[in-house]
Amino acid sequence: CHLIHYLRLSHHLIVLNYLVGTFDKLKSVSSEDINITDAVFDGVEVRVFEPPAKHDERLKRSVIYIHGGGWALASARTSLYNNLCRIMAESLDAVIVSVEYRLVPEVCFPEQFHDALRATKHFLQPDVLAEYSVDPSRIAISGDSAGGNLAAAVCQQLSKDERLTIRPKLQALIYPVLQAFDFNTPSYQQNVNMAILPRYVMINYWIDYLNGNYDFAHSLLINNHTALDVGQALSFRGRLNWTSLLPSSFKKNYKPVIQTTGKAEIIQEIPALLDVRAVPLLAENETLQLQPKTYILTCENDVLRDDGVMYAKRLENAGVEVTLDHFDDCFHGCMIFTIWPTDFSAGVQTRNSYIKWLDENL
């Protein structure tokens, strides 16, 4: 993809990148008992967090974790994610595999997806699990934001791969980004200018991830790419009808934005807008029926809130057991902000709830 796309990211993204770099210099806060090693799984870098082995202990549980950052920022090695994974390893007495997938602008979709899929499939091999003393029946795949997108997409792909003998027992998605079909869901309208992730920034992330053209940004914002006369989008419309998928407490008084005439050339130039590997919420019911027990964490003050709520509802409708863990007073990205100077109560609250669910279900 073109470097110019990345250079045109907003000042907002540059600030976020600066903050990520600043936090990387902060001291780690977890115990020294966790063994951290860097490895390469089928050409993909990973960081592995292993609790100390105990005498006569059974095989350990494991979580494959995929970090967020709009497919363009952050790293498994930054202290924000390093601390999260250390605390998970410690609290769950589990092996955590944090995937260091390549980022925009080095690569665009589908390479991030392929990296996450390759690393996951490599880890799920019986001999690799044995090397790390992991129980094949107790593995979860998880991620936050763009990492939640990749986790959901990888989980869907694994569920359809008949050659696999080992698949995740659970998926746990933290304020995941799951669709680029409708940028006017109630949460997008309600939180249009919300700090951390305003709507225009999320659209920028999508354009960069899918190697699109910034000239389409305004058309995406008003849903021109999925107008009623855009034939390619018609078959997907029923899979993302928030008027039927969202409870009234989330719909509030917001109205759908559905254009009668739009720009079919957007989908022609960016076909990945309708590719389920990029937009897992658009998957067909037959795929959703194959998904494992699922946890989805959403925050009220987040444009992506309804992505997670709609996915929870679609999975439930397909017969999957789902826990929707919604936080009324929290914001996008809060779970990684648990160390000084951003040791927010929202971060500790959401992280504890997430780890508790994993502990009870994995």
pLDDT digits (tens, 9 = 90+) for 18-68: 445 544 444 444 456 899 999 999 999 999 999 998 776 789 999 999 999
pLDDT at 361 over 50: yes
Domain of 173, CATH number, reads: 3.40.50.1820
Mark whether 152 and 34 lie in a shared domain. Answer: yes
Q: In this structure, is residue 280 part of a structural domain?
A: no
Residues 71 and 218 occupy one common structural domain: no
DSSP-derived pairing of the beta strands 60-66 and 293-301: unpaired
Pick the catalytic residue from 115, 144, 182, 302: 302
Q: What is the predicted pLDDT for the residue at 18?
A: 44
Q: Quick check: is 306 in a domain? A: yes
- Is the pLDDT score of 6 beyond 50? no
Highest mean pLDDT among 6-20, 23-37, 91-105, 342-356: 91-105
Please identify which of the residues 145, 159, 182, 187 carries the catalytic annotation: 145
* pLDDT value of position 11: 42
Mean pLDDT of 313-321: 98
Whether 33 sits among the annotated catalytic residues: the reply is: no
Residues 264 and 136 in one domain: no
Considering the domain boundaries, does residue 283 fall inside one?
A: no
Identify the active-site residue in 5, 67, 225, 332. 332
Question: Same domain, yes or no, for 40 and 123?
Answer: yes
Query: Where in the sequence is the domain holding 252, given as residue range(s)?
Result: 186-271
Asked if residue 218 is part of any domain, the answer here is yes
Nearest to 65 by CA among 52, 53, 77, 51: 77
Q: What is the pLDDT of residues 327-343, one digit of tens each?
A: 999 999 889 877 766 67
Residues 302 and 166 in one domain: yes
109 & 62 share domain: yes
pLDDT of residue 346: 87
User: Do residues 160 and 211 both lie within one domain?
Assistant: no
Does 119 share its domain with 191? Answer: no
How many structural domains comprise the chain?
Answer: 2
Per-residue pLDDT tens digits for 73-97: 999 999 899 999 999 999 999 999 9
- Assigned domain for 142 exists: yes
User: 229 pLDDT exceeds 70?
Assistant: yes
* DSSP code, position 29: -
Contact (Cβ atoms closer than 8 angstroms) between residue 154 and residue 117: yes
Looking at the fold, whether 37 and 110 belong to one and the same domain comes out as yes
- Is residue 349 in some structural domain? yes
User: Measured between alpha carbons, how far is 179 from 221 in angstroms, rounded to an integer?
Assistant: 13
Whether residue 124 is found in the same domain as residue 207: no
- 307 noted as active-site residue: no
Prior bond to 198 cis, omega within 30? no
Residues 58 and 160 in one domain: yes
pLDDT (average), residues 120-139: 98
Please say which residue of 271, 296, 328 terminates a domain: 271
In a domain, 109, yes or no: yes
Higher pLDDT, 317 or 340: 317
Q: What is the pLDDT of residue 32?
A: 63
Q: Are residues 258 and 125 in the same domain?
A: no
pLDDT in tens, 155-212: 999 999 999 999 999 999 999 999 999 999 999 999 999 988 999 999 999 999 999 9
261-300, pLDDT tens digit by residue?
999 999 999 999 999 999 999 999 999 999 999 999 999 9
Which amino acid belongs to residue 202?
M
**What pLDDT is stored for residue 14 in this prediction?**
45
322 domain-assigned: yes
Tell which phi-psi region holds residue 262, choosing left (phi > 0), alpha (psi between -120 and 50) or beta.
beta
Minimum mean pLDDT among 2-11, 27-36, 116-125: which range? 2-11
Active site residue 145: yes
Indicate the burial class of 246 (C-beta count within 10 angstroms; 0-12, 13-18, 19 or more). Answer: buried
